[in-house]
């Protein structure tokens, strides 16, 4: 059971702005994909039948006759006697339906180079890549690691893998060689697909050298990677290992685009995506085929109100995260959408880049994260107003609660005061959006994700699992299985059961706190466990602590997520150095330890601050009181410290934090 002590953990204060709601315009509602409120009760009456209807929108190689098997919770099976090919659904069927000329991807490289890929061209590329992978021995049931920049080949690679019935494990390009190796080992990948590098902030950020480093690491465990396929993007020099490494462009030129997509069981693994949990070891979240694609496609079409013939959709997420999987690859492509894919950062060459892309391609639906919106707010609206954003008709937000100020700015400055904002709550584990307004139906409340989507049942409960009632806060649970739900933690069913299903029986515990307002709308309040949310990315305190104590000079460490104006939360570390160490000095310790974390986990985990301290606040039983450290890191007065073994320690630590802040002023 979740303890009371956790209740204030990491929660972000958020209050409804009573009375401020934005109903859909009559015009928007009239043409919206969903505009009949009866959808909610119809779906609630028989959620399985509702999802079966949605699943039939896809092409099934063998139609399913069974919808859900929940006889062995928490291991769900959806549409499990059916056979499907996910890549066929994302590409072939659109070409067969006569939409081969439609642009699938308007790709924009950071340096300004562009590529336009139609569905027909995408099919050609995916077929060739599938033949190539097959020739390298990839077959149904295998895993392939993908470590790539945001280039069309990344999407082609993902689709080619799943076309063969194999599963991919995409590793975000910002992760270190060590993190990559751990993921390659855990998933037992036989092939790695990478690139020489990709453009970020005007420079080529190398990838292949990190793959070489990852595969050469002495970890005490063997890996089974036979080949590394390398896409040429950055034009930077790379070492090619004989008999192992192959250039993508050389190999692909030698194969024919002849490949028939076979059907695979609906529960065939589709991908593994690693995410941080409360321990040092990332969890391999396993998603399977039919249910995942059903919900990714359904939510993409209805929550963003997609009209594939006319809309130009853009999701700014990287393919290395779940948002990139569901709303840049599988959702939009299953729906035959035309979308923008951008390689680089929003501030290259200047902060107008995103808005220039929207103007250039006439983007109509735009999906991004609150942290990005807050960065643009800081820069000021004049950067945005240089561009014509009048094509935008729907905006989306994901990754963390969107504070009402950011909501209003997004609505006014980007959405012209008219585009609805869908604030979408979901997780790597849920696979697809679970809580969100429907833009043609819901009166929007800035700051609230509001209601579960049709077919999903969610509650906010107290520690004992009882509904909290309107006006109260508690823990978010998902009451019934849903099609795109996580099927397992790869190789660790016990951890799967323990993490999500041990608190409230057969209900899924999301790890988030939430509050129901007087109308019953849901307000997300942040994580209730030791997971941080930095720029919408999940990081584990335990993982960063273990990287820090891996440094030869570090004796002990405690990491907290402190609130940060731009990134939501930021990593703040408190470190005790070994008594006899001589390597680190007061002057160099912070920089060295930040670099150490970036090297071992990846740049995204680099702490904002590292404080060298002589003692950590511990209870008499030896448990570190992270709550007090967070108070100190956020500059709050330290409350009751009487349970600490050493009551002076927090005064010293708070003073250190204050001194640093004053020094920066
Ligand atoms: O705390 C919630 C927060 O992000 C967590 C999931 O992180 P991850 O698996 O990395 O997936 C992020 C993209 C789906 C959740 O447990 N979160 C995500 N979306 C929202 C959110 N918190 C509040 N509002 C949201 N819209």
602 part of a folded domain: yes
> What totals of helices (H) and strands (E) does the chain contain, helices first?
21, 30
Please determine, for residue 247, whether its predicted confidence score (pLDDT) is greater than 70: yes
- Nearest Cα residue to atom 22 of ligand 1: 400
pLDDT tens digit sequence for 529-567:
889 999 888 899 999 999 999 999 999 999 999 999 899
Distance 273 CA to ligand 1 centre (A): 15
Residue at token pair 């585009």:
419
624 part of a folded domain: yes
649 part of a folded domain: yes
Least confident range from 370-374, 493-497, 653-657: namely: 653-657
Residue 323, token pair as written in the block: 């948002």
347-375 CB burial, b ≥16 within 10 A, e <16: bbeebbbbbebbbebbbbbbbbbbbbbbb
Q: Which residues touch 367 (CB under 8 Å, ≥6 apart)? A: 304, 313, 314, 315, 316, 317, 323, 327, 395, 396, 397, 398
Q: Is the dihedral of CA 397, 398, 400, 401 positive or negative?
A: positive
pLDDT at 256: 97
3-31 CB burial, b ≥16 within 10 A, e <16: eeebbebbbbebebeeeeebebeeebeee
* Element housing 386 (H / E): none
pLDDT tens digit sequence for 306-333:
999 999 999 999 999 999 999 999 999 9
* Selection from 141, 542, 538 nearest residue 322 by Cα: 538
Q: In which band, very low, low, confident or very high, does the pLDDT at 12 lie, cut at 50, 70 and 90?
A: very low
CATH of the domain at 575: 3.30.300.30
Please determine, for residue 169, whether its predicted confidence score (pLDDT) is greater than 50: yes
pLDDT at 651: 86
Distance 428 CA to ligand 1 centre (A): 8
Distance from C-alpha of 430 to C-alpha of 509, rounded to nearest angstrom = 11
- Nearest Cα residue to atom 11 of ligand 1: 427
Please determine, for residue 5, whether its predicted confidence score (pLDDT) is greater than 80: no
Distance 466 CA to ligand 1 centre (A): 23
91 part of a folded domain: no
Distance 40 CA to ligand 1 centre (A): 23
Backbone dihedral angles phi then psi of residue 605, each to the nearest 5 degrees: -95, 0
574 part of a folded domain: yes
Give the mean pLDDT of 410-423: 98
- Nearest Cα residue to atom 15 of ligand 1: 427
- Distance (Å) of CA 566 to CA 422, 562, 602, 616: 20, 12, 20, 28
- Site to substitute for ligand 1 among 402, 437, 538, most atoms within 8 A of C-beta: 538
Distance 74 CA to ligand 1 centre (A): 21
Give the ligand 1 atom nearest the CA of 526. Answer: 1
- Nearest Cα residue to atom 26 of ligand 1: 425
Distance 32 CA to ligand 1 centre (A): 26
pLDDT at 128: 98
| Percent residues over pLDDT 90 in the chain | 87
180 part of a folded domain: no
Residue 259, token pair as written in the block: 């490949």
- E strands of 350-400, at which residues? 365-368, 394-398
Least confident range from 7-16, 104-113, 306-315: namely: 7-16
Distance 178 CA to ligand 1 centre (A): 25
Distance from C-alpha of 246 to C-alpha of 132, rounded to nearest angstrom = 11
pLDDT at 19: 60
Please determine, for residue 4, whether its predicted confidence score (pLDDT) is greater than 80: no
pLDDT tens digit sequence for 194-208:
999 999 999 999 999
Statement: the pTM of the whole predicted model exceeds 0.75: yes
Please determine, for residue 2, whether its predicted confidence score (pLDDT) is greater than 70: no
547 part of a folded domain: yes
Residue at token pair 């397992």:
488
Which residues have CB under 6 Å of ligand 1?
275, 322-323, 398-401, 423-428, 449, 510-512, 524, 526-527, 533, 536, 538
The mean pLDDT of the chain is: 94
Burial class (CB in 10 A: 0-12, 13-18, 19+), 256: exposed
Please determine, for residue 664, whether its predicted confidence score (pLDDT) is greater than 80: no
pLDDT at 10: 36
Distance from C-alpha of 208 to C-alpha of 239, rounded to nearest angstrom = 8
Give the mean pLDDT of 24-38: 97
Residue at token pair 């139906």:
441
Q: In which band, very low, low, confident or very high, does the pLDDT at 259 lie, cut at 50, 70 and 90?
A: very high
Q: In which band, very low, low, confident or very high, does the pLDDT at 8 lie, cut at 50, 70 and 90?
A: very low
pLDDT at 624: 87
pLDDT tens digit sequence for 477-493:
999 999 999 999 999 99
543 part of a folded domain: yes
Please determine, for residue 7, whether its predicted confidence score (pLDDT) is greater than 70: no
Please determine, for residue 15, whether its predicted confidence score (pLDDT) is greater than 70: no
* Selection from 97, 172, 59, 138 nearest residue 601 by Cα: 172
pLDDT tens digit sequence for 638-658:
877 888 878 788 888 888 888
pLDDT at 661: 82
Domain span including residue 570: 531-664
Distance from C-alpha of 489 to C-alpha of 142, rounded to nearest angstrom = 17
Q: For the chain, how many structural domains are there in total? A: 1
- To the nearest 10°, the Cα dihedral for 519, 455, 327, 228? 130
């Amino acid at each position: 059971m979740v303890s009371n002590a956790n209740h204030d953990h990491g929660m972000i204060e958020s209050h409804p702005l009573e009375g401020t709601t934005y109903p859909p315009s009559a015009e928007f509602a009239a043409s919206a994909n969903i505009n009949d409120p009866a959808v909610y009760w119809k779906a609630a009456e028989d959620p399985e039948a509702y999802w079966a209807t949605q699943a039939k929108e896809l092409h099934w190689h063998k139609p399913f006759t069974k919808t859900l098997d929940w006889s062995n919770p928490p291991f769900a099976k959806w549409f499990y006697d059916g056979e499907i090919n996910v890549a066929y659904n994302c590409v072939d069927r659109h070409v067969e339906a006569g939409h081969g000329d439609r642009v699938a991807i308007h790709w924009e490289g950071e340096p300004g180079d562009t590529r336009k890929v139609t569905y027909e061209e995408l099919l050609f590329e995916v077929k060739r890549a599938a033949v190539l992978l097959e020739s390298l021995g990839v077959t149904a049931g295998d895993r392939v690691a993908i470590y790539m920049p945001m280039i069309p080949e990344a999407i082609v690679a993902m689709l080619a893998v799943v076309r063969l019935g194999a599963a991919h494990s995409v590793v975000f390009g910002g992760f270190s060689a060590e993190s990559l190796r751990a993921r390659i080992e855990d998933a037992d990948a036989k092939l790695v697909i990478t690139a020489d590098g990709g453009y970020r902030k005007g420079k080529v950020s190398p990838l292949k050298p990190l793959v070489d480093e990852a595969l050469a690491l002495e970890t005490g465990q063997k890996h089974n990677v036979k080949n590394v396929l390398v896409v040429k993007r950055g034009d930077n020099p790379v070492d090619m290992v004989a008999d192992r490494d192959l250039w993508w462009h050389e190999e692909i030129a030698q194969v024919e685009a002849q490949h028939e997509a076979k059907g695979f069981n609906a529960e065939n693994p589709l991908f593994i995506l690693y995410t941080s949990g409360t321990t040092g070891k990332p969890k391999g979240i396993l998603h399977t085929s039919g249910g995942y694609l059903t919900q990714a496609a359904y939510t993409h079409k209805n929550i963003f109100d997609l009209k594939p013939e006319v809309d130009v959709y853009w999701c700014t997420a990287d393919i290395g995260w779940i948002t990139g999987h569901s709303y840049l690859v599988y959702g939009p492509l299953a729906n035959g959408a035309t979308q923008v894919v951008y390689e680089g950062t929003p501030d290259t060459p200047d902060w107008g880049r995103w808005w220039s892309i929207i103007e250039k391609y006439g983007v109509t639906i735009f999906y991004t994260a609150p942290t990005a919106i807050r960065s643009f707010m800081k820069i000021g609206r004049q950067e945005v107003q240089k561009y014509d954003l009048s094509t935008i008709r729907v905006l989306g937000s994901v990754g963390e609660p969107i504070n009402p100020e950011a909501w209003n700015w997004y609505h006014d400055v980007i959405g012209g005061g008219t585009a609805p904002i869908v604030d979408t709550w979901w997780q790597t584990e849920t696979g697809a959006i679970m809580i969100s307004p429907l833009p043609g139906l819901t009166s929007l409340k800035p700051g609230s994700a509001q209601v579960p989507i049709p077919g999903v049942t969610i509650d906010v409960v107290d520690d004992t699992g009882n509904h909290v009632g309107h006006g109260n806060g508690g823990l978010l649970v998902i009451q019934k299985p849903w099609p795109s739900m996580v099927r397992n933690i790869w190789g660790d069913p016990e951890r799967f059961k323990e993490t999500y299903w041990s608190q409230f029986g057969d209900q899924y515990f999301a790890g988030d706190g939430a509050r129901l307002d007087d109308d019953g709308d849901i307000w997300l309040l942040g994580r209730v466990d030791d997971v941080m949310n930095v720029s919408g990315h999940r990081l584990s305190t335990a993982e960063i602590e273990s990287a820090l104590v891996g440094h030869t000079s570090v004796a002990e460490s405690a990491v907290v997520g402190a609130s940060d104006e731009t990134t939501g939360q930021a990593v703040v570390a408190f470190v005790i150095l070994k008594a006899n160490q001589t390597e680190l000095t007061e002057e160099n310790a912070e920089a060295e330890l930040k670099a150490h974390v970036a090297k071992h986990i990846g740049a995204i985990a680099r702490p904002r601050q590292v404080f060298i301290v002589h003692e950590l606040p511990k209870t008499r039983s030896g448990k570190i009181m992270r709550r007090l450290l967070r108070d100190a890191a956020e500059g709050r007065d330290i409350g009751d410290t009487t349970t600490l073994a050493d009551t002076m320690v927090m005064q010293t630590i708070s003073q250190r934090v204050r001194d640093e802040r004053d020094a920066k002023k």
